[in-house]
Amino acid sequence: MPNRIKYVYIFLFLSILVTSCEDNSSSDSGALFINEFLASNDACYPDEAGEYDDWVELYNSSSDPIDVGGMYIADNLEDELYLIPNTDNSLTTVPGNGYLILWFDKDEEQGPHHIGEKLSGDGEGIYLLSDSTTIVDSLSFDVQETDVSMGRSPDGSNNWVNFTTPTPGASNK
């Protein structure tokens, strides 16, 4: 009987160890969402240079930070995928339960948050990929109104709504 109890304890210990390793992963891309975007930004929300460019907000629904450096984002899977630089993960990390804005402005020289593509206000798709073939999140949209964003309400849900007052970097309420 004591040997059986010893094996049960060993099994329980190993089960707890494996479970805790899986639960503490900070690279769980399943917690990342394309949460809000504005494909026709004329005077709504400027980037750090004061320019009104199209943007995409990523939302991390986990409590652990997720670095998107090394992931891809694209507006069309048939065209070139944009590799999000992973040179400085402090700039490409989406904080736990937080947001990161990526600017679709064809101006990559402004930093790792600037994508070498523009979004089409006439409608298209947005794709976030963990590698060149694995889609983490995506959406398709039709013609967009100027300075009106589309976002998930609440954050990370499947319910998309228009925001006449966009909320980049903040909760979609």
pLDDT at 28: 63
Token pair for 19: 């479970």
Cα–Cα dist 75/160, whole Å: 18
Handedness of CA 19, 23, 25, 27 (dihedral sign): positive
pLDDT band at 16 (very low <50, low <70, confident <90, very high): very low
pLDDT at 29: 74
Quick count: other Cβ atoms within 10 Å of Cβ 172? 24
pLDDT at 9: 44
Q: Of 123 and 14, which is predicted with more confidence? A: 123
Q: Out of 19-33, 57-71, 144-158, which region has the weakest mean confidence (pLDDT)? A: 19-33
Q: Inform me whether the pLDDT recorded for 11 exceeds 80.
A: no
Per-residue pLDDT tens digits for 161-173? 999 999 999 999 8
pLDDT at 24: 28
pLDDT band at 26 (very low <50, low <70, confident <90, very high): very low
pLDDT band at 4 (very low <50, low <70, confident <90, very high): low
